[in-house]
Amino acid sequence: VFNFSPGPATLPEAVLRQAAEEMLDWHGSGMSVMEMSHRGKEFMSIHAEAESLLCELMGIPAGYKVLFLQGGAIGQNAIVPMNLIGRTGRADYVVTGDWSKKSAKEAAHFGEVRIAASSEEGGRYTRVPAQAEWQLDPKAAYVHYCANETIGGVEFFWTPQTGDVPLVADMSSNILSRPVDVARHGLIYAGAQKNMGPSGLTVVIVREDLIGHAMPITPSVFDYKIQAAADSMYNTPPTYAIYIAGLVFKHVKSLGGLAAMEAHNRAKAAVLYDFLDKSGFYSNPIQREARSLMNVPFWLKDAALDAAFLQGAQARGLVGLKGHRSVGGMRASLYNAMSIEGVQALVAYMRDFEAQHG
Ligand code: PLP
């Protein structure tokens, strides 16, 4: 099948094949990675390689720590403020969709949260607010934004300017999809289950000067200082998820790294958006400059046809297309591992469906 699910999502077949081959006996160790001690030399080498490949792919500069944690991006909605907000007691949030709205709401448990900019209009989000609209608080401990709104299909294609205030990004659904300027961020976090691997692993990339300011209530396992000092092994890390993510990183590198991913992702998204733009039957209301390369929501002219559309798609092996319940319609997620053939098959189906029902 071609799996358009928003996450957990399709993974490179080569990675899954390698994992299957190594399942019972990793590199002659006589063990599955799942059975290894996280402190043994085998797993330590897997962990170190995954971290070093991620640094290489993303160009993570010196002065940053990479943490492999648990709790997901939703966990980070609390963990980020617990670690960072204490410096001044307040933080700015930019709201561009359901995910950033949720982040702001959670952070408000830990300090004073201001909405520095929002693109919400009548409960919908179709753009990102221009930098000139941002009303930043120079005393904020950080400014948070969501680089790609997985539900709304709204993506940032520019890095916000926040002066001396550290910039924090939720990159759960677009990490590794194209190059990103890590040095302009104080902290980047992402759940792994879209472009990096299975769920259960949360990646945090944090500038070292932002470590060590956790509120006293912060659980030790979520204190960046404690986890950084323990090389993310203060608790038992999600070992198998780290192993698979390492295989994905190696695979992405073999394909040419993030510049190659960007070209691949732009080409795929263009196939679908070009079709949507020419159609009077399907629509996508997102402003062109903010259209996500990763998650493409679209609506049929008549929502009464949604069930038939999904059923027909399933029959052609096109799965995971149902839109998020909060916005309805459809959503095609085009993560790195989705092939251009998959997008072409989707468009061919959409064309046929329109011919039948339009
Ligand atoms: N943020 C974004 C942008 C997401 O897409 C998701 C999950 O889909 C989350 C946060 C929540 O991630 P998790 O369920 O891993 O906590």
Q: Which residue, judged by its Cα, is nearest atom 15 of ligand 1?
A: 72
pLDDT of amino acid 207: 98
Do 22 and 33 contact (CB within 8 A), yes or no?
A: yes
Q: CA angle, corner 203, sides to 197 and 209, nearest 5?
A: 165
Q: What confidence tens digit (pLDDT) does each residue in 173-189 have?
A: 999 999 999 999 999 99
* 223 annotated among ligand-binding-site residues: no
- Sequence-ordered list of residues with C-beta below 8 angstroms from that of 336, at least 6 positions apart, any chain: 12, 176, 177, 195, 252, 261, 264, 265
What whole-number distance in Å separates Cα of residue 334 and Cα of residue 252?
15
Q: What confidence tens digit (pLDDT) does each residue in 325-342 have?
A: 989 999 999 999 999 999
The upper half-sphere exposure of residue 276, i.e. CA atoms within 13 Å in the direction of its Cβ, equals 24
Which amino acid is located at 20 in the chain? A
CA of 173 to the centre of ligand 1 (A): 7
Q: Which two tokens stand for residue 6?
A: 């928003």
Do 36 and 26 contact (CB within 8 A), yes or no?
A: yes
Chain centroid to CA 214: how far? 24
What whole-number distance in Å separates Cα of residue 216 and Cα of residue 209?
18
Tell me whether strands 295-300 and 282-283 are parallel, antiparallel or unpaired: antiparallel
Categorise residue 60: left if φ over 0, alpha if ψ from -120 to 50, beta otherwise. Answer: beta
Q: Which residue, judged by its Cα, is nearest atom 5 of ligand 1?
A: 150
Express as a percent the part of the chain with pLDDT over 90: 99
pLDDT of amino acid 84: 98
Q: Convert 199-262 into a string of H (helix), E (strand) and C (coil).
A: CCCEEEEEEHHHCCCCCCCCCHHHCHHHHHHCCCCCCCCCHHHHHHHHHHHHHHHHCCHHHHHH
Tell me whether strands 112-118 and 90-95 are parallel, antiparallel or unpaired: parallel
pLDDT over 90 at 62, yes or no:
yes
pLDDT over 90 at 358, yes or no:
no
Q: What confidence tens digit (pLDDT) does each residue in 72-102 have?
A: 999 999 999 999 999 999 999 999 999 999 9
Q: Which two tokens stand for residue 302?
A: 């008549």
Catalytic member of 26, 65, 98, 99: 99
pLDDT of amino acid 21: 98
Q: Is 150 in the pocket of ligand 1 (CB under 6 A)?
A: yes
pLDDT of amino acid 209: 98
- Indicate the fold that domain 256-357 takes in CATH: Aspartate Aminotransferase, domain 1 (3.90.1150)
Sheet holding 112-118, edge to edge: 64-69, 202-207, 187-191, 167-170, 143-146, 90-95, 112-118
CA of 355 to the centre of ligand 1 (A): 36
By C-alpha distance, which of 192, 187, 218, 220 is closest to 204?
187
pLDDT of amino acid 25: 98
Q: Is 318 in the pocket of ligand 1 (CB under 6 A)?
A: no
What does the mean pLDDT of the chain come to?
98
Q: What confidence tens digit (pLDDT) does each residue in 103-123 have?
A: 999 999 999 999 999 999 998
CA of 134 to the centre of ligand 1 (A): 24
pLDDT of amino acid 346: 98
Q: What is the mean pLDDT of residues 130-136?
A: 97
Q: What is the mean pLDDT of residues 39-65?
A: 98
Looking at the DSSP bridge assignments, the partners of residue 120 are 125
What are the backbone dihedrals phi and psi of residue 28, each rounded to the nearest 5 degrees, phi first?
A: 75, 10
Burial of 91 (0-12, 13-18, 19+ CB in 10 A): buried
Q: Is 71 in the pocket of ligand 1 (CB under 6 A)?
A: no
Q: Which CATH class for the 13-254 domain?
A: alpha beta
Q: What confidence tens digit (pLDDT) does each residue in 278-315 have?
A: 999 999 999 999 999 999 999 999 999 999 999 999 99
CA of 26 to the centre of ligand 1 (A): 31
User: Hey, where are the domains in the chain?
Assistant: 13-254, 256-357
pTM of the model: 0.98
What whole-number distance in Å separates Cα of residue 306 and Cα of residue 147?
29
Domains 13-254 and 256-357 share a fold: no
- Residue 151 Cα: closest atom of ligand 1: 5
Q: What is the mean pLDDT of residues 210-228?
A: 98
Q: Which two tokens stand for residue 146?
A: 């969501």
pLDDT over 90 at 171, yes or no:
yes
Do 50 and 243 contact (CB within 8 A), yes or no?
A: yes
Q: Which two tokens stand for residue 68?
A: 């492999």
Whether complex ipTM tops 0.90: yes
pLDDT of amino acid 41: 97
